[in-house]
Amino acid sequence: MSTVGVGIDVCDIARFQESLARTPGLAERLFVGDEVGRPAASLAARFAAKEALAKALGAPAGLAWHDAEVVSLASGQPTFVLRASVAAAAEAKGVTSVHVSLSHDGGLATAYVLLEG
């Protein structure tokens, strides 16, 4: 396998939490399934992961937020479930494996995404 793309993103947790509070419906537009109802730090990390994934894919037009869901394996390790627009973009780039790492500390949430093909 070879690297197809990499992406990283950082999100200020307090600012993200303020955006969620100020904008009704924002959480519903960004998050789906296992993501819904998580604490602000976790949501900020998942938002950063979706941004990092888009960057790793080359930021093609037409990606839908709900088409990339960050879920946790039984071990607690995060992974992506890709659907529709995001799955199509990944397939077009020859992606066969998606790796994601999340972290939040010191008021910042960070995500790193590595795509292999």
Ranges of each domain in the chain: 3-116
Residue with tokens 């793309």: 5
Instruction: Reply yes or no on whether the pLDDT at 24 is more than 90.
Output: no
Is-contact 58 95, C-beta < 8 A? no
Confidence of residue 34 (pLDDT cuts 50, 70, 90): confident
Confidence of residue 1 (pLDDT cuts 50, 70, 90): confident
Backbone phi, psi, residue 101, to 5°: -125, 130
Alpha helices in 1-101, H assignment, sequence order = 13-22, 26-30, 40-56, 84-92
3-state SS class at 66: helix
CATH class label, 3-116: alpha beta
The predicted structure's pLDDT at residue 67: 98
**Rounded (10°) CA dihedral 111, 43, 77, 106:** 60
From CA 64, how far away is CA 40, in angstroms rounded? Answer: 21
The predicted structure's pLDDT at residue 107: 98
DSSP category for residue 65: G
Average pLDDT of the chain to the nearest whole number: 97
